[in-house]
Chain A
Amino acid sequence: MKIKLFQILTAALFLAVIFTVPILTKLEGNAAFSQFEYRELAKPPVLEGAGTLFDPAYYTQWETYFSDHVWQRETMMALYTRLNIGLRPVVNDVVIQDDLLLPFIQFGQPDNDDLRFHADRMAGKLAALNETVKSYGGSFTYLVVPEQFSFFRDRYPLYLNNHAERLGTIERFLSEELDERGVDTLMMRQVFDSDEYYSRTDHHFSYQGAYFTYLTLMEKLNAGNHRLPVPEDIAFIDLENPFYGSRNRKLYGLYPSEERLSYYVEASPLPIKRTDNGTRLDYPVFELPADAETPVTYAMYMGGDIGETVIETNRPELPSALIFGDSFTNPLETFLYHSFNETRSLDLRYYPEDFSVLAYIERYRPDYVFCMRDDISSLSVLGNGNIQ
């Protein structure tokens, strides 16, 4: 190739790239939400008068808006991810092991004084809840389940931080504080004994893990004077649909995974009436996909995180229950309603900060109250830790 042709091609290709992208960006139209990043994409900034023109933030917002909507953005980010899988041990903050995706955890030593303070504070709140429930004769149990990376902490490469020290300290401090205050606790990490209880590509436990947790809880309660029924004629079915676990979603679903979500069917389904935030729903507890190709997420269980769900089973001889917590409660709830006449579930993240779960409990007086947190969140007083 002669020098002149090389120069012409260099200039032409460069101009083609920088002119084509903005034109195609304009033609493509704007998506509102990024499925892979799980966030709303930036909207065009609004000009609120002449003063806005002199605010640098206005132009920064334009930069953000354009960056969020540049032509084929998700394709490029997926390509970037594809380029890096196999090249790096950690991609998009996901540690890629042979058959397992774990979160990358920043390095640093835990502050034990800080953890003790938070454990004491959380235990105080749970103790207050316990007293409230006990005051009308109810029963409260606090369940702590390992987050996926906590369960698989030994699978981290040696040079990465697996938070083992921090998690161990949290568990120890919290147990001590709760024991001191007489709060009934179920630490599931001491009970889980099989890898099948945890997802390989998501931060939750598997459906088998949820079922095992439910059975363990019922066994614990029934060991006393309780006689809570558990379903006996359920059969588990694996969905064929690809599963977009939360970790794999960060990798644009590019990590090859055979993992599938399960659900169950019953020989004699228990008729229920389900109400979400006051609205009656048709589907009981699984939001199943319409076909075998549509990818599914953990939101299949109970339809995901919902502010308030009430399931009534018309069995007045059985007690009532309330469970609140993060998304770990969702698959558990698909079993829990079998054991109670009425099962209420709350996700405090959908309530205002001044919402009082104690007042809610006082109002409905459920016979059993369960709070379920994953271990890494168990000391947090935000969201489902906002117990007041």
Chain B
Amino acid sequence: MVFSSTLFVFVFLPAVIACYFLIPKRFLPLRNLVLLGFSLGFYFLGEPKYVLVMLASILANYLFGYCIGKAQASGRTGKALLALSVAVNLGGLVFFKYVPFMTENINRLFGTAMAIPEIVMPIGISFFTFQAMSYVFDVYKKTVAVQKNPLNVALYVSMFPQLIAGPIVRYETIANEIQKRETNVSKFSEGVIRFVYGFAKKVVLANAMGKIADAVFSQPVGQLSGAVAWVGALAYSFQIFYDFSGYSDMGIGLGRMFGFTFLENFDFPYISKSITEFWRRWHISLGTWFRDYLYIPLGGNRAGAARQVFNLFVVWLLTGFWHGAAWNFVVWGLFYFIILTAEKFLLKKTGFKNPLFHLYALLLIVVGWVIFRSESMSYAFGYLGRMFSPAAFGAGGGEAVYYLREYLPEWILAAVFSVPAGRALSGVASRLKQGQAVCETARLVFLFAVFLIAILFLVNSTFNPFIYFRF
């Protein structure tokens, strides 16, 4: 089940809200139990058998946290247990996600003919594994107390607002909220606003851009004109942003309804003037996870230039792998490693002040998305060749015109809302003391117009999977 489905919006969500809020505030553990039950149910409805994998992950990480806490209480570091927890977590991830890929490549490299196992990857395994690991790391670092109640650990890992596609919630950010949080009309309405706009981003913008991107990327690369290749690349750039940030908005909004405050996951990444800045604005929860749990423990930028480059290499290699078991994801990760290294060592003095850096960043981001979206590296190279080869611009203009004209409203909205336009408007509105009521009425009307239009789009669609489901 996905958030942008009629079953979720009109059956699951009202059911969980009703069951949760019917319980008085003072019975928070009971409310947590309801949330846990619905979260496990949410996952079960999509992956009936693999809910056991998630439960196993929860149990294992609960025990690791408990044991590390015990070890540290008795004067030991708990490092061995930490290493074991990493091995177990990553082992599970490798098994479900990477074994077929590894087998295929071993066969290719060594000429062997091992059977490629057909392993079904549980949805969201990359997200909930990293989330569970975050709990163990935070216990080890002593930034949080050991959570003695396994149900609270289960709730943290499985909470449906962020279970399948993030944001990757760090345990330390919500540890207190699990045991003590407030729900009120103010938070609920904030959550509604966030959810509705995220919902609209997904079903109106992401899905429209997805239709263009899917149509273009399904064509043999030799048939692509330069214009169509650019349209497809830009469409995918918008699709992945609105799909992912929309889902994050919905997750953050849903969390807020139930009293949780999740950290932001996107901060208008397409206004970046450097790739360094881009990765501070894009999928923030993943970037900070790798920074705090891998880059810094490896030494970060404090062990000399050569070591820093090595650390960056490891982080971006694994970032690529995290996104998928295919070489194009690895190349995508290393693509950013090269650019980030160059920016740190060659371009840093520029301060990225020249406005042309914005174009520089956008160009590299779009190129990166082409690599990311392509089914293979040969396709990616071919596609990029069509984008940058003057000879490819001869024919095929009609198809590009169609995608631009047919989806003109979505292109305009996608471009406008990829920059902080809404924030600017809110800023202007909030400075108008007179007419505040008018502004708030307009906001309310606008919000529900957006919600109803998004529902129309949803009902008219049939199937709209999230991109990040394969992670």
Q: Is the pair B406, A80 in contact by a Cβ cutoff of 8 Å?
A: no
Chain A contacts with B in 32-91, Cβ cutoff 8 A: 53-56, 59, 62-63, 66-67, 70, 73, 76-77, 79-81, 83, 87-90
Chain B contacts with A in 444-466, Cβ cutoff 8 A: 444, 447-448, 451-453, 455-457, 459-460, 462
Alpha-carbon distance between A21 and B397 when the two chains are bound, in angstroms: 44
- B11 at interface, CB cutoff 8 A: yes
Residues from chain B with a CB closer than 8 A to the CB of A292 are none
Residues from chain B with a CB closer than 8 A to the CB of A88 are 405-409
Q: Interface residue count for A (Cβ, 8 Å)?
A: 49
Alpha-carbon distance between A33 and B399 when the two chains are bound, in angstroms: 35
* Among A1-9, A132-140, A241-249, A265-273, the stretch in contact with B: A1-9
Q: Do A76 and B10 contact each other (CB < 8 Å), given the known contacts A11-B192, A161-B398?
A: no
**Please, which residue of chain B has its CB at the minimum distance from the CB of A65?**
B7
Residues from chain A with a CB closer than 8 A to the CB of B67 are none
**Please, which residue of chain B has its CB at the minimum distance from the CB of A107?**
B399
Minimum CB–CB distance from A227 to chain B (whole Å) comes to 51
Alpha-carbon distance between A59 and B408 when the two chains are bound, in angstroms: 36
Q: Is the pair B401, A159 in contact by a Cβ cutoff of 8 Å?
A: yes
Minimum CB–CB distance from B391 to chain A (whole Å) comes to 17
Q: Is the pair A15, B189 in contact by a Cβ cutoff of 8 Å?
A: no
Minimum CB–CB distance from B235 to chain A (whole Å) comes to 14
Q: Do A76 and B460 contact each other (CB < 8 Å), given the known contacts A54-B48, A66-B10?
A: yes
Q: Is the pair A6, B459 in contact by a Cβ cutoff of 8 Å?
A: no
Minimum CB–CB distance from B450 to chain A (whole Å) comes to 12
- B415 at interface, CB cutoff 8 A: no
Q: Is the pair B409, A87 in contact by a Cβ cutoff of 8 Å?
A: yes
Q: Is the pair B444, A9 in contact by a Cβ cutoff of 8 Å?
A: yes
**Please, which residue of chain A has its CB at the minimum distance from the CB of B49?**
A54
Chain B contacts with A in 395-442, Cβ cutoff 8 A: 396-399, 401-402, 405-409, 436-437, 440-441
Chain A contacts with B in 337-363, Cβ cutoff 8 A: none
Q: Is the pair B460, A11 in contact by a Cβ cutoff of 8 Å?
A: no
- A278 at interface, CB cutoff 8 A: no
User: B5, B196, B451, B459: which contacts A73 (Cβ < 8 A)?
Assistant: B459
Minimum CB–CB distance from A158 to chain B (whole Å) comes to 6
User: A6, A56, A83, A160: which contacts B189 (Cβ < 8 A)?
Assistant: A6
Q: Is the pair A80, B457 in contact by a Cβ cutoff of 8 Å?
A: yes
Interface size class of B (residues with CB under 8 A): 35 or more
Minimum CB–CB distance from A44 to chain B (whole Å) comes to 13
Residues from chain B with a CB closer than 8 A to the CB of A106 are 215
Chain B contacts with A in 75-126, Cβ cutoff 8 A: none
Residues from chain B with a CB closer than 8 A to the CB of A67 are 5-7, 459, 462
Q: Is the pair B45, A59 in contact by a Cβ cutoff of 8 Å?
A: yes
Q: Is the pair B7, A66 in contact by a Cβ cutoff of 8 Å?
A: yes
Chain B contacts with A in 296-333, Cβ cutoff 8 A: none
Residues from chain B with a CB closer than 8 A to the CB of A158 are 398
Q: Which of B10, B399, B456 has the most chain A CB atoms closer than 10 A to its own CB?
A: B10
Q: Which of A5, A13, A18 has the most chain B CB atoms closer than 10 A to its own CB?
A: A18
**Please, which residue of chain A has its CB at the minimum distance from the CB of B195?**
A14
Chain A contacts with B in 144-173, Cβ cutoff 8 A: 158-161
Q: Is the pair B193, A159 in contact by a Cβ cutoff of 8 Å?
A: no
Chain B contacts with A in 377-400, Cβ cutoff 8 A: 396-399
Q: Is the pair B398, A160 in contact by a Cβ cutoff of 8 Å?
A: yes
Q: Is the pair A14, B456 in contact by a Cβ cutoff of 8 Å?
A: no
User: B6, B18, B192, B436: which contacts A14 (Cβ < 8 A)?
Assistant: B192
Q: Is the pair B451, A17 in contact by a Cβ cutoff of 8 Å?
A: yes
- A225 at interface, CB cutoff 8 A: no
Alpha-carbon distance between A53 and B51 when the two chains are bound, in angstroms: 13
Q: Is the pair B1, A11 in contact by a Cβ cutoff of 8 Å?
A: no
Minimum CB–CB distance from A84 to chain B (whole Å) comes to 9
Q: Do A10 and B447 contact each other (CB < 8 Å), given the known contacts A56-B47, A80-B456?
A: yes
User: B46, B408, B409: which contacts A56 (Cβ < 8 A)?
Assistant: B46
Residues from chain A with a CB closer than 8 A to the CB of B45 are 59
Q: Is the pair B185, A80 in contact by a Cβ cutoff of 8 Å?
A: no
Q: Is the pair B48, A14 in contact by a Cβ cutoff of 8 Å?
A: no
- B219 at interface, CB cutoff 8 A: yes
Chain A 102-129, CB-CB to B under 8 Å as 1, else 0, gives 0000111100000000000000000000
- A182 at interface, CB cutoff 8 A: no
Q: Do A8 and B406 contact each other (CB < 8 Å), given the known contacts A59-B46, A66-B6, A77-B459?
A: no
Q: Which of A6, A59, A66, A161 has the most chain B CB atoms closer than 10 A to its own CB?
A: A6
- A229 at interface, CB cutoff 8 A: no
Q: Which of A6, A13, A14, A161 has the most chain B CB atoms closer than 10 A to its own CB?
A: A14
Q: Is the pair A70, B459 in contact by a Cβ cutoff of 8 Å?
A: yes
**Please, which residue of chain A has its CB at the minimum distance from the CB of B184?**
A7
Q: Is the pair B223, A108 in contact by a Cβ cutoff of 8 Å?
A: yes
Minimum CB–CB distance from A53 to chain B (whole Å) comes to 7
Residues from chain A with a CB closer than 8 A to the CB of B196 are 14
**Please, which residue of chain B has its CB at the minimum distance from the CB of A19?**
B14
Alpha-carbon distance between A70 and B462 when the two chains are bound, in angstroms: 12
Q: Is the pair B406, A90 in contact by a Cβ cutoff of 8 Å?
A: yes
User: A11, A22, A53: which contacts B11 (Cβ < 8 A)?
Assistant: A22
Alpha-carbon distance between A320 and B192 when the two chains are bound, in angstroms: 71
User: B405, B406, B441, B456: which contacts A79 (Cβ < 8 A)?
Assistant: B456
Alpha-carbon distance between A243 and B409 when the two chains are bound, in angstroms: 32
Q: Is the pair B10, A8 in contact by a Cβ cutoff of 8 Å?
A: no
Residues from chain A with a CB closer than 8 A to the CB of B17 are 15, 18
User: A10, A66, A87: which contacts B193 (Cβ < 8 A)?
Assistant: A10
Residues from chain B with a CB closer than 8 A to the CB of A11 are 185, 188-189, 192
- A25 at interface, CB cutoff 8 A: yes
Q: Is the pair A10, B189 in contact by a Cβ cutoff of 8 Å?
A: yes
Q: Is the pair B406, A53 in contact by a Cβ cutoff of 8 Å?
A: no
Q: Is the pair B185, A1 in contact by a Cβ cutoff of 8 Å?
A: no
- B186 at interface, CB cutoff 8 A: yes
**Please, which residue of chain B has its CB at the minimum distance from the CB of A71?**
B10
Residues from chain A with a CB closer than 8 A to the CB of B444 are 1, 6, 9-10, 13
Residues from chain A with a CB closer than 8 A to the CB of B398 are 107, 158-161
Task: Pick 28 A–B contacts, CB within 8 A, sort by A.
Answer: A1-B437, A7-B188, A10-B193, A10-B447, A13-B444, A15-B17, A17-B448, A17-B451, A17-B455, A55-B48, A56-B47, A63-B5, A67-B5, A67-B459, A70-B10, A70-B459, A76-B455, A80-B456, A80-B459, A80-B460, A88-B405, A88-B407, A88-B409, A107-B219, A108-B223, A159-B397, A159-B402, A160-B402
- Counting from the closest, the 3 A-B pairs by CB-CB distance are A159-B398, A7-B189, A159-B401
Known: A6-B444, A66-B7. 19 other contacts (CB 8 A): A1-B437, A1-B441, A3-B440, A8-B189, A10-B444, A18-B13, A18-B14, A19-B14, A22-B10, A55-B48, A59-B48, A63-B5, A66-B11, A67-B462, A88-B409, A89-B405, A107-B215, A107-B399, A108-B223
